[in-house]
Amino acid sequence: MTDLWAGLAQAFWLVVTLDPDLMEITLRSLRVTLTALVIASAIAFPLAALLAVKRFRARRFTIAVLNALMGLPPVVVGLIVYILLSRSGPFGVFGLLFTPSAMIIAQVIILVPLIASVAHQSLRDLWSEYHDLLISMNVTRWQKMQTLLWDARRALLTAALAGFGRGIGEVGAIMIVGGNIDHATRVLTTAIALETGRGDFALALGLGFVLIALALAVNLGTHWLGRTEREGRW
């Protein structure tokens, strides 16, 4: 117990003094996840809008695949990306394995199905509301998608926040493809795993605090978005 208390006190100290190691790792985590989030959103939002407005033959199949991919264990994603990026793999020539880029790629693969599924649900509901009006106005498919994406922006932000929460707390895939290399690919979650293994609870707990704070911020953001939505503010 004393270990734990000492660890907690030390962790607190690390956070308030903005310990350089802790800051470096936190910033890398944010950089990796935010980059992955932006890329994943850029893919997932238009995809979700297209699935909402266009009735094509592979639509149901695509939705089923997205839902299935959402349940894919991150470790397996890590494994697949590892194989693809390894020296002997098809993309080995780029030398991306054990770099932040590899971690971003893995996270994009994890986040796209999640964000697309969540976004698709709101866009589909909005489309059933707007369908008659937009059809009667003769709008192009691109205009339909634009209108839906813009008017559902709050729901999309919520979807992105869910993606951020998932990405920032993810450990399995980025551990495999990033390798948890100090000053290169070490991020919050992988560092916690390592420091805990080593018995350095202070750093592990300090990193944990940061992670919890980020998760809390995401939840508060989601809550706040939901409230402004209900109040019908713009």
Interface with another protein by CB under 8 A: which residues? 126, 129-130, 132-133, 135-139, 143, 147, 151-152, 232-234
Query: 23 or 139, CB closer to another protein?
Result: 139
- Which residue lies nearer to another protein by CB, 5 or 234? 234
Least distance between another protein and beta carbon 120 (Å): 18
Using the minimum distance from each CB to another protein, give the nearer residue, 3 or 129: 129
Amino acid in position 222: T
Specify burial of residue 45 (Cβ count, 10 A radius: 0-12, 13-18, 19+): buried
Nearer to another protein, 219 or 228 (CB): 228
Q: How far is the CB of 149 from another protein (least distance, A)?
A: 12
Q: Position of tokens 């299935």? A: 68
Contact indicator for 151, 49 with CB cutoff of 8 Å = no
Q: Give least dist CB 88 to another protein, A.
A: 52
Q: Which is nearer to another protein, 44 or 126 (CB)?
A: 126
Distances in whole angstroms, Cα of residue 211 to Cα of each of 201, 202, 206? 15, 14, 9
Q: Tokens at residue 129, please? A: 């509301």
- Nearer to another protein by Cβ, of 4 and 135: the residue is 135
- The least distance separating another protein from the CB of residue 151, rounded to whole angstroms, comes to 5
Instruction: Tell me the closest approach of the beta carbon of residue 153 to another protein, in angstroms.
Output: 10
Provide the H-helix boundaries in the chain. Answer: 2-16, 20-53, 59-70, 74-85, 100-136, 141-151, 153-168, 172-178, 188-198, 201-230
Q: Which residues contact 226 (CB under 8 A, 6 or more apart)?
A: 158
Sign of CA dihedral 8, 13, 15, 20: negative
- Count CB neighbours of 157 within 10 A: 15
CB of 136 vs another protein, minimal distance in Å: 4
